[in-house]
């Protein structure tokens, strides 16, 4: 897909370069000041809110761990999406079928938010229970430093939105969860995204009705999952003029591969590419492991890989050395 290009040039809401966080350009984070925790600046929720309210469509590729998130940032994207599918695959090597707990998901979100200077949008599954659980979930993700979360109306244990066999809870129960999430946040800018998986269970019209209920409950963004045709994608956009919508460009999923230009034209404000990095990493690791298995060493594959020096520079060794010198006694 050649038109799914991020807004590489744009600085953040405060004019800082979104790839470096300091307005100076160059490699991601190369001149970011080092703090005691080697972390980046706070305020992701406010920056995500500013992006939502103006500017181009927010393209947020998925990251399953902090390294993937840093690569997303280096590529110049304005935000990163913590994928639940990828988190499950990376943390426990298992499919996205509700096996991870809230604390495991929030912890991964926190590790990602700690190492990038762009807003993190995170998967929060079903909110992990009833409205009381949702309150705790919002608190945990806020404390983790993410900019916003999406919660969905599936029956727990949930499934990936593009798998078969999903079930949904009653719409009023989900609306109560959305209200709880909105009222629980301590940062007014923290973005609550309401996702409905009802298209696969109850049909498009009912999914749109549910989304309208969730909007009335206070959701900031609507996420209508697993639309199956371009006509449905257009219908969802027409149903909510002026409302921020999230589009899941699920690689190989049920939704057709619509161009970014078309999604922007329809008014979608956030487009996520949840598992491109996960699939690419899997392919690359398979290739180098095959080389080791057949040749005995990875020597023949090294020409296509970053050098050791390039890699340690990318993950911040120069910053660590700078801090060591600054605080040496």
What are the catalytic residues?
A: 81, 96, 123, 125, 150, 152, 160, 195, 225, 248
Closest C-alpha to 152, from 187, 111, 201, 185? 201
Answer for the pair 292, 298: CB distance below 8 angstroms, yes or no.
yes
Tell me how crowded residue 174 is: count the other CB atoms within 10 A of its CB.
Answer: 26
Ramachandran class of 29: left when φ > 0, alpha when ψ lies in -120 to 50, beta otherwise: left
Nearest 5°: phi and psi at 233? -60, -40
Neighbours of 251 (CB within 10 A): 17
The enclosing H or E element of 213 equals helix 204-216
Q: Partners of 42 in the beta sheet?
A: none
61 and 277 in contact (C-beta within 8 Å)?
A: yes
Report yes or no: 129 and 156 within 8 Å, Cβ to Cβ. Answer: yes
Question: Beta partners for 81?
Answer: 62, 121
Please tell me what DSSP assigns to residue 175.
H
- Residue 197 CA to residue 160 CA, distance in Å, equals 10
Between CA 329 and CA 319 the distance in angstroms is 18
Token representation of residue 233: 């994608």
Task: Please name which of 224, 274, 227 lies closest in space to residue 254, comparing C-alpha atoms.
Answer: 227
Residue 186: CB atoms within 10 Å: 9
- Strands 80-82 and 148-152 come out as unpaired
Instruction: Judge if the upstream peptide bond of residue 325 is cis by omega within 30 degrees of 0.
Output: no
CA–CA gap between residue 153 and residue 174 (Å, rounded):
6
């Amino acid at each position: 897909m050649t038109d799914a290009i991020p807004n590489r040039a744009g600085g953040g809401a405060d004019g800082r370069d979104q790839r470096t966080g300091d307005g100076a350009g160059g490699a991601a984070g190369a001149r970011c000041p080092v703090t005691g925790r080697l972390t980046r600046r706070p305020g992701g929720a406010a920056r995500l809110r500013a992006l939502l309210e103006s500017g181009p469509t927010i393209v947020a590729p998925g990251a399953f761990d902090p390294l993937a998130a840093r690569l997303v940032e280096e590529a110049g994207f304005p935000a990163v999406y913590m994928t639940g599918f990828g988190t499950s695959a990376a943390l426990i090597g298992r499919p996205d079928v509700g096996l991870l707990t809230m604390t495991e998901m929030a912890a991964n979100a926190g590790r990602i938010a700690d190492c990038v200077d762009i807003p993190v949008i995170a998967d929060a599954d079903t909110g992990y229970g009833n409205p009381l659980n949702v309150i705790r979930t919002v608190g945990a993700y806020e404390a983790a430093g993410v900019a916003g979360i999406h919660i969905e109306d599936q029956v727990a244990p949930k499934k990936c939105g593009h798998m078969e066999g999903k079930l949904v809870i009653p719409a009023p129960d989900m609306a109560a969860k959305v209200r709880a999430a909105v009222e629980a946040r301590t940062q007014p800018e923290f973005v609550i995204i309401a996702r409905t998986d009802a298209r696969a269970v109850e049909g498009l019209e009912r999914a749109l009705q549910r989304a309208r209920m969730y909007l009335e409950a206070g959701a900031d963004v609507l996420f209508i999952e697993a639309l199956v045709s371009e006509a449905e994608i257009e219908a969802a956009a027409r149903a909510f003029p002026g409302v921020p919508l999230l589009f899941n460009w699920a690689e190989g999923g049920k939704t057709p591969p619509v161009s970014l230009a078309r999604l922007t034209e329809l008014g979608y404000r956030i487009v996520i590419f949840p598992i491109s990095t996960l699939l690419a990493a899997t392919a690359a690791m398979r290739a180098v492991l095959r080389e080791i298995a057949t040749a005995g060493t990875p020597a023949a594959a090294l020409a296509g890989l970053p050098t050791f020096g390039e890699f340690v520079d990318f993950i911040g060794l120069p910053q660590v050395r700078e801090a060591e010198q600054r605080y040496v006694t």
